[in-house]
Amino acid sequence: MKVLLVDDEEIALEVLERMLCQIDNVEILGKYTDPEKALVRLKTEGADAVFLDFEMGGRHGLQFAQELLNMDASPEVIFVTAYSQYAVDAFEVDALDYLVKPVTLTRLMKAVQKIEERQSLKRIRKSHLTVNEVNIRVHSLGAFQVFAGEEEAMPVRWRTKKVKEMFCYLWMNREQPVNKYRILEELWPEAALDKGTALLHTTVYQLRKVIKELHFEDGLQYLNDQYVLALPIKSDLEELEGLLKEPAPSPDQMKRILLLYEGDLLELDEYNWCIYERQSLKNTYLKCLQRYAEKNGGKTQNEVVENCLQKMFKMDTYNEIYTIMLINYYAETGNTKEMVEVYKYYSKILWEDLGIAPSRKVIELYRKHIKNE
Model confidence over 116-134: pLDDT tens digits?
A: 887 776 665 554 444 445 5
Q: pLDDT tens, 204-255?
A: 999 998 998 888 878 898 888 899 998 999 999 999 999 999 999 999 999 9
Q: Given this model, what pLDDT does residue 295 score?
A: 94
Average model confidence (pLDDT) across the chain: 89
Report whether 144 contacts 235 (CB < 8 A): no
Distance of CA 203 to the CA centre of its chain: 14
**Which residue spans of the chain are classified as CATH 1.10.10.10?**
159-231
Integer Cα distance of 133 and 139 in angstroms: 17
Beta-bridge partners for 50: 4, 77
Q: Given this model, what pLDDT does residue 128 score?
A: 46
Q: Is the pLDDT of residue 60 over 80?
A: no
State the CATH architecture for 159-231: Orthogonal Bundle (1.10)
List Cβ neighbours of 193 (8 Å cut-off, separation of 6 or more). Answer: 184
Report whether 30 contacts 77 (CB < 8 A): no
Q: Does domain 237-372 have CATH number 3.30.1240.10?
A: no
Judged on CB neighbours under 10 Å (0-12, 13-18, 19+), 86 is buried
- Greater confidence, 88 or 22? 22
Integer Cα distance of 365 and 309 in angstroms: 17
CA geometry: angle 246, 251, 254, nearest 5 deg: 55
**Which residue spans of the chain are classified as CATH 3.40.50.2300?**
2-128
How large a percentage of the chain has pLDDT more than 70? 92
Q: How many CA atoms lie within 13 A of 165 on its CB side?
A: 18
Classify each residue of 246-265 as buried b or exposed e, where b means 16 or more C-beta atoms within 10 Å of its C-beta.
eeebeeebbeebbebbeebb
SS3 label, residue 316: coil
Q: pLDDT tens, 261-301?
A: 999 999 999 899 999 999 999 999 999 999 999 999 877 88
With residue 169 as reference, give the H or E element that holds it: helix 161-172
Classify each residue of 317-341 as buried b or exposed e, where b means 16 or more C-beta atoms within 10 Å of its C-beta.
eeeeebbbbbbebbbebeeeebbbe
> 2-128, which class in CATH?
alpha beta
Per-residue pLDDT band for 44 (boundaries 50, 70, 90) equals: confident
Q: Where are the alpha helices (DSSP H) in 173-223?
A: 180-187, 193-213
Report whether 219 contacts 211 (CB < 8 A): yes
Cis amide leading into 251 (omega within 30): no
**Which residue spans of the chain are classified as CATH 1.25.40.10?**
237-372
Q: Where are the alpha helices (DSSP H) in 214-356?
A: 236-244, 251-260, 275-296, 303-315, 320-332, 336-349
Integer Cα distance of 253 and 245 in angstroms: 11
Number of Cβ atoms within 10 Å of the Cβ of 85: 8
